[in-house]
Amino acid sequence: MKLIFGIGLFLSLSLLCYAQEIYKESMSLMGSDFEITVVSENEQAGAQYIQIAVDEIKRIEKLISSWDQSSQTSEINRNAGIKPIIVDRELYNLIERSIAISKITDGAFDITYASMDKLWKFDGSMTSLPTPEEVSQSVARVGYEKITLNEDEQSVFLKQPQMKIGFGAIGKGYAADKAKEKLMQLGVKGGIINASGDLTVWGSQPSGKAWQVAITNPMDKNHAFTKLPIMHGAVVTSGNYEKRITLEGKTFTHIIDPRTGYPSQGILSVTIFSEKGELADALATSVFVMGIETGIDRINQLPNVECIIVDDSGKIFTSKNIRINNNEN
């Protein structure tokens, strides 16, 4: 009888496991299109989990937004060149990690990029190129080394007046990480936080199979050039093939090198794979700026990070642990 009971219990648990289904919702958050997917036992629980993720993302946005004048980030910016601002430990640590990424990428990633004037516009309104003097003046306020952190006071100080920090190149990835962390703590076995195509993934589908992540072909956005199984981590793609302008016979794209003030060149898309969406988000833009050779070399030195680069002729380059069969395409 004990054996029969044991078998019955096993079958019941198995049926409960396979009774779980995928639930997803789309919404606008942090100025972007988000889609949140969870594996849950029923629609009501799925909706509750998704709302918890939304609330966490909104909390992060409130903390790091440079548009919200009541945020700590805005207070830091208002007091640039005036005084240090004491901030929450969470924001302090995010800024500290951002500076560390700046050092790793030789300044290709820099949250003080927000200090630059909006010299480059990719909405069709630009009729002439900015002058070298304008670009130089704009870049003068940029530089992660101009951020002073005081660990004891937990304060942040921007040394130069009119400096600003912004988390546009790291914020969505960080928010997705925090939402994922929240849901995992609640026992959600699998899901995807999709921030405008930047994916943070954990667990598996109800069948036990890994999530399939499609890598878009920038030469043909309606088709993927490969699909990869992912069970834990982040996949972030930055593309330079949509926002572009042509002036004086040259084409310029929207990813700007914060060190020079000029658009990066030669790359169409960069896809980064890492354990954290925060790091993947930051590195995707950084590799654009560093270029193919330097970018791949830097990625190869980082543990548990990989990349796929497509140059402006459609040629594919990868870090050392990725192999794509159709490289010749």
Q: What is the mean pLDDT of residues 255-259?
A: 93
**pLDDT at residue 13 tops 80:** no
Is the pLDDT confidence value at 240 over 90? no
pLDDT at 328 over 60: no
Domain boundaries defined on the chain = 72-158
Q: Is the pLDDT of residue 239 over 90?
A: no
pLDDT tens digit sequence for 98-115: 999 999 999 999 999 999
For residues 178-195, average pLDDT = 97
Q: Give the chain's mean pLDDT.
A: 89
Q: Can you tell me the mean pLDDT for 187-197?
A: 95
pLDDT tens string 281-323: 999 999 999 999 999 999 999 999 999 999 989 899 999 998 7
Asked if the model's pLDDT at residue 17 lies above 50, the reply is: no
Q: Which CATH superfamily is domain 72-158 in?
A: ApbE-like superfamily (1.10.3980.10)
pLDDT in tens, 57-75: 999 999 999 999 999 999 9
Indicate the pTM of the whole model. 0.89
Task: Kindly indicate the confidence band of residue 14, based on its pLDDT and cuts at 50, 70 and 90.
Answer: very low
Question: What is the distance between the alpha carbons of residues 155 and 39, in angstroms, rounded to a whole number?
Answer: 40
